[in-house]
Amino acid sequence: MAKYIVKRILFGIATAFIVATLTFFIMNLVPGGPFLSEKAVTPAAQEALEAKYGLDKPLFQQYLTYMGDLVHGDLGDSLKKRGFTVNRIIETKFPVSAKLGGIAMLVAFFLGVPLGCIAAYKRSKLVDNIIIVFSTAGIAIPSFLSSTLLMYIFSTKLGLLPSLGLSEPKSYIMPVIALALYPTCYIARLMRSSMLDVIGQDYMRTARAKGVSTFLMIFKHALRNAILPVVTYMGPLLASLMTGSFIIEKIFTIPGLGHEFVGAITSRDYPLIMGTTIFLATFIIIMNVVVDILYAFIDPRIKLK
Amino acid sequence: MKKKVAQVVAGLLAVSMLATACGSSSSSTDTASSDSTTESTAANELDVQVGPSPETIDPALNSAVDGANMIIHAFEGLLKFDQDNNVVAGCAETWETSEDGLTWTFHLRDGLKWSDGSDLTANDFVYSWQRVADPNTAAPYGYDLLNQVVGYTEVSEGTADVTTLGVSAPDDSTFVVNLSSPCTYFDKICAFAVLMPVQQATIDANGDEWTTNPETYITNGAYYVTEYTPGEQIVMTKNPNYWDADSITFDTITWHLIEDPNASYSAYQQGELDMIKDVPTEEIPSLEGNEEFNVEPIMGTYYITFNCNKEPFDNALVREALSLAIDREYVASTIMQGTYSAATNFVGPGVSDAEEGSSFEEVTTSTYGDFFDNSDYDANLAKAKELLAEAGYADGAGFPEIEYLTNDSGYHKAVAEYLQSAWAELGITMTINIQEWQTVTADRRAGNFDVARNGWVYDWDDPSNMINLLETENGNNDGKYSSEEFDSLVDQARQTTDVSEHYDLLHQAEQVLLKDAAMAPVAYYNDFWLQKSNLTGTWHSPYGYWYFMYGSLE
């Protein structure tokens, strides 16, 4: 197993390296630049800015410099948020997104899994139909719509929940619902279909013949086998939820990292584009390794080699 | 079996603990921010929204209106603007100009202090101005503000030391600026946010980061920063060391850094904010007649740039025909929902003329008459058809298919669609090329377009700031319009020390542009915002700045 983990980590580093390289060159191909503004800057000021951030060097040399700094954990200075380093932006914004995303994921997991189990057990009954309809709708509704609707109902009309920031515990309610809606529904559907597979297996029939109660049968015997697809989905899900959602952070004015991903690209803040992309890529890679390790715990038949 | 179930649970717990562990570290910033928002209902605290996180709040580096709004509350320059947009004393109590207009001397008030309690002297202004000129600072406005100052060119090109810039402090309370050519509006430049003083000690110690921490953001104006959470809020607290602190009313001003207009509107409706600048455009029809909804002009014009180097736009008749075929009144009041005003000339309201309190636009109207008569569109359209025929494209025959370059924000797309139909009346086929803002700016500057959306908001109250954009060598002359007559008028206006001659020459220059259809003005910018009716004593200036420091909530 240790050998397997080491191998996966090495692959992960290689993947992160490829992501960094591709992002670096693709982002430099996009027209425009960080110091382009509606108002023309004098050539001298433009040159000074480019020299200050090393953008006057040939592209390949910039790449080497960047990768050198990256190895030392230095993600550079933001070009558009003057005075902020990319490390500092990620350090201050990631915790905000991570906390929100973490809560949303717990909600999605602890709501989605039981819902999927219940739907599978009550297959074709009314409960199952209701869950299917709602989970299909939940997957289809984009987050900008659900967030705006929540905001309209609970903030604007009813005035029950604050619409700005995350200043108090109840400010988390709307963003968490908006963020958890899609994964909850997705997990419920995933859980339902894999549970249906498992329920049809012989050993389930044996358990039933032995007189095991329905609750135990579903949540003890079947769940462990049926949950594997959900765990697979949870790895990348956790990474994407915890690194923030551009739309939800924008609508609820949350100072999170999700916003920086998109903002960096539109403003051509090269070091910030690189920093956020590499951060997300690394996070996803790590989560995938964690998921693989979890497999072995959940299903001992799986051997990690 | 039980052991394995426990392992599963442990595995899941590990995932969930990771989620919560990562979250816990943010609690310190959360509690800090919650204090200020929950208390903000108290009478002496103001909550406003003028934009999302500013790119910078470093006076020298700022080039945006939202940043400037915050800077004017935290800093004070030599001079400042009053409610009627006149230049009045700021840090300088008095000032005078030499007869040749080349030497400006400012006498500072006694006992000026920084927000950290240390003394502010004329040397701080010397440092701050040198910093703006220094190419290593790369101040976006360096050239515009200081190019008339002796030695600026050499300093900005890096061939001379910053100390050779024509600014000096003969003693602690006197600041002298030497200009290489006279500038009739230099007092307005001295009131500009970029030239406000900054403290050398904090910048030397903290570099670019000085603006990002409240402790190192030393100010000299009405307020200082007590909290800065990017993406959330900037909290400013009254500065007891400000010389005029007695006139400052609000104890704190919280700038909510909201990007989404719907979010700011919702917070405003809930009473969380007292004033918001970003109102969702779809709400505007329902807000008309609401006393909390304000519309006021700012100095700026929305216009269309023609690529004058390219056929058929090298022909002034064609440009004029296209320009006349635009129903400006319809665009401003219907498409832009009355948030813009129909343009009648190039320089719009809010810009001053020679006499104190006079308006450049009013003088244009009384001297030359309005160039565009927006009351009779049918006549304009008929004339446009005539002009196009005269140019050899009767009913659009033989006119190439053209492309309109714009980005998709605000009303840009709706205006583009309108132009498509308006120019179709002339028999011209136009396609719309929507690109993101960065690409539009890059393409427009490089000349990769036929016709493009353009717009300009004045940096300071002088018509030259807008008119000069069409000078042959101007970096913002995207259409590459070039006219010797125009260039010479603008240059004379720049050189003269006589204020009325300065304005007169600029009037003539504007007429040249309009007759030549160097661009097609469409509409004048307005600021529109929501402000609670119990918030009084604040004002909005044609620069797009709000002055909250003297207001009160009743």
What band does B541 get if pLDDT is binned at 50, 70 and 90? very high
The residue among B262, B264, B443 with the most chain A CBs within 10 A of its CB, best to mutate, is B262
Reference B232, options B267, B261, B272, B259; nearest CA is: B259
Give the whole-angstrom CA distance, residue B311 versus residue B326: 20
- Please name the residues between 227 and 286 in chain A that touch chain B, using a CB distance below 8 Å: 227, 234, 238, 242, 249-256, 259, 266-268
pLDDT at residue A100, as a whole number = 93
Residue of A nearest to B478 (CA): A40
Per-residue pLDDT, B53: 86
Phi-psi region of A165 (alpha: psi -120 to 50; beta: other; left: phi over 0): left
Tell me how long chain B is: 554
Contact list, B25 vs chain A (CB under 8 Å): 95
Q: Are the beta carbons of A220 and B272 separated by less than 8 Å? A: no
In 3-state terms chain A splits into helix, strand, coil percentages (rounded to 5) of 75, 0, 25
Q: Is the pLDDT assigned to residue B266 strictly greater than 50?
A: yes
Tell me the pTM: 0.83
Tell me if chain B has a CB within 8 Å of the CB of A9: no
Give me the percent of chain B exceeding a pLDDT of 90: 69
How many C-beta neighbours within 10 Å does residue A203 have?
11
Encode chain A (305 residues) as per-residue pLDDT tens digits.
788 888 888 988 899 999 999 999 999 888 778 887 766 666 777 787 888 888 888 999 999 999 999 999 899 999 888 888 999 999 999 999 999 999 999 999 999 999 999 999 888 899 999 999 999 999 999 988 999 899 889 888 888 888 888 888 898 999 999 999 999 999 999 999 999 998 888 888 888 888 888 888 888 888 888 888 898 888 888 888 888 888 899 888 888 998 888 888 888 899 999 999 999 999 888 888 888 888 878 877 777 66
Do A37 and B441 lie within an 8 Å CB cutoff?
A: yes
Give the pLDDT mean for B50-64. 88
A90 touching B, CB under 8 A? Answer: no
pLDDT digits (tens, 9 = 90+) for B455-485: 998 888 899 999 999 999 888 899 999 999 9
Q: Residue A83 and residue B212: Cβ atoms within 8 Å?
A: yes
**More confident: B501 or B43:** B501
How confident is the model over B400-429, as a mean pLDDT?
Answer: 93
Backbone angles phi, psi at A64, to 5 degrees: -65, -45
Residue B500: what residue type? S
Residue of chain B with shortest Cα separation from A89? B230
| Cα–Cα dist B319/B312, whole Å | 8
User: Residue B366 pLDDT more than 70?
Assistant: yes
Residue type for position A202: D
Gap between the Cα atoms of A134 and A41, Å rounded: 54
**A170 in reach of chain B (CB within 8 A):** no
B13 pLDDT more than 80: no
Tens digits of per-residue pLDDT, B77-111? 999 999 988 899 999 999 999 998 899 999 999 99
Task: Supply the pLDDT for residue B25.
Answer: 35
Q: How far apart are CA A47 and CA A56, in angstroms?
A: 7
The closest alpha carbon to A99, from A244, A287, A268, belongs to A244
Which residues have a Cβ under 8 Å from the Cβ of B140 and sit 6 or more positions away?
A37, A39, A41, A45, B61, B63
CB contact under 8 A, A106 and B16: yes
Q: Choose the mutation target among B8, B20, B469, B525 for the interface with A, i.e. most A CBs under 10 Å.
A: B8
Question: What pLDDT shows up at residue B22?
Answer: 37
Q: Is the pLDDT assigned to residue B31 strictly greater than 60?
A: no
Considering chain B, what is the average pLDDT of its residues? Answer: 88
Residues of A in contact with B55 (CB under 8 A): 80-82
Q: Determine the pLDDT at residue B304.
A: 96
